[in-house]
Each structure stands twice: as structure tokens, then as C-alpha cells.
Amino acid sequence: MDREVDDIKFELKSLCEEFMDILSKMKEKNIISEEEYKEYSSKKIEFLQN
């Protein structure tokens, strides 16, 4: 069971990183603002800390 939980946590972390990469590209293209990017980044950090 612990192995499954670790696998899920790893997958979630990977997805968060992919999401942040996408957000970074969106910010570069002015699709989202710097403030929105920072907001999402802080939520990602909170999520990964839990």
C-alpha cells in the first residue's frame, strides 16, 4: 500500500511540474498575468507540502 501511495504522490508531483511548465509558457505569451502565475505557483507549493 505504501508503494501505491508513493507512486501516486510521484505522479501528482510530475503533473504539477507539467502544469507549471504550461503556465510558464502561457505567462510568456501573455495569456495569463504575472499575478495569476504567482497565485498558481503558491498553490502548487502548498499542494506539494501537504
Radius of gyration of the chain, Cα coordinates, nearest whole angstrom: 13
Q: How far apart are CA 24 and CA 33, in angstroms?
A: 10
pLDDT per position as a tens digit, 1-50:
799 999 998 998 899 889 889 999 999 999 999 999 999 888 877 777 76
C-alpha cell belonging to residue 12: 501528482
**Domain extent at residue 45:** 2-49
- Total number of domains constituting the chain: 1
The confidence score (pLDDT) of residue 50 equals: 67
- The DSSP result for the chain, as a single string, is -HHHHHHHHHHHHHHHHHHHHHHHHHHHTTSS-HHHHHHHHHHHHHHHH-
How far apart, in Å, do the first and last CA atoms of the chain sit?
19
The confidence score (pLDDT) of residue 47 equals: 74
Which single residue is written with the C-alpha cell 511540474? Answer: 17
